[in-house]
Amino acid sequence: MIAKHTIVAVACAGAAVALMSGCSQATEAPAAAPTTAAPDTAPATGASDAAPTLGTRETALGTVLTDGDGFTLYRFDEDTADLVRCVGPCAEIWPPTPGTPLPHPDAVLPGTVGTTTRPDGVEQATYDGHPLYRFAKDTAPGLTSGDGVKGTWHVVTVDAAHG
């Protein structure tokens, strides 16, 4: 019986190390927010049939784009409207915003809302042609800790004078 518990403990420890190293790699991999309204009831991550809701929130960085749960949304400098580069471990740290987004009725979004197709065939929400992501280390609505990561990740700002 002791040998069986030892094997399970070793297997669990190995899985934990593999998971941690995968996350470590994700932060090293090159890679591609609260609203003023009630949060969307759709899950923030994972596939959902519900369209993601986009809103805005005032932060120290200005008015930023948010998802229906109020979490800040980001863009990746290496992405284009037609090519998503944040995949695999990168997408674990920077979860993509899936689906065709709808602006929250109270949100003023002067930019263009749309979608792009990820390499795995999943539709990803875009704003002004930039694929949208959350930052896994933003643990609460309104945080903007992903801005400037590796010099390539930026909050998506919403400027009312946007043209």
Cα dihedral 93, 115, 39, 94, rounded to 10, equals: 0
Model pLDDT, residue 52: 85
Count of the separate structural domains present in the chain:
2
> Are 96 and 119 within one domain?
yes
pTM, full prediction: 0.69
Paired strand residues for 117? 123
Residue 37 has pLDDT above 70, yes or no: no
Give Dmax over CA atoms of the chain in angstroms: 70
Mean pLDDT is lowest, of 36-45, 74-83, 113-122, for 36-45
Query: Which domain range does residue 23 map to?
Result: 1-30
> Are 25 and 42 within one domain?
no
> Are 6 and 69 within one domain?
no
pLDDT (average), residues 63-92: 96
The reply to whether 162 falls in a domain is: no
Q: What percent of the chain clears pLDDT 90, i.e. is strictly above it?
A: 60
> Are 8 and 70 within one domain?
no
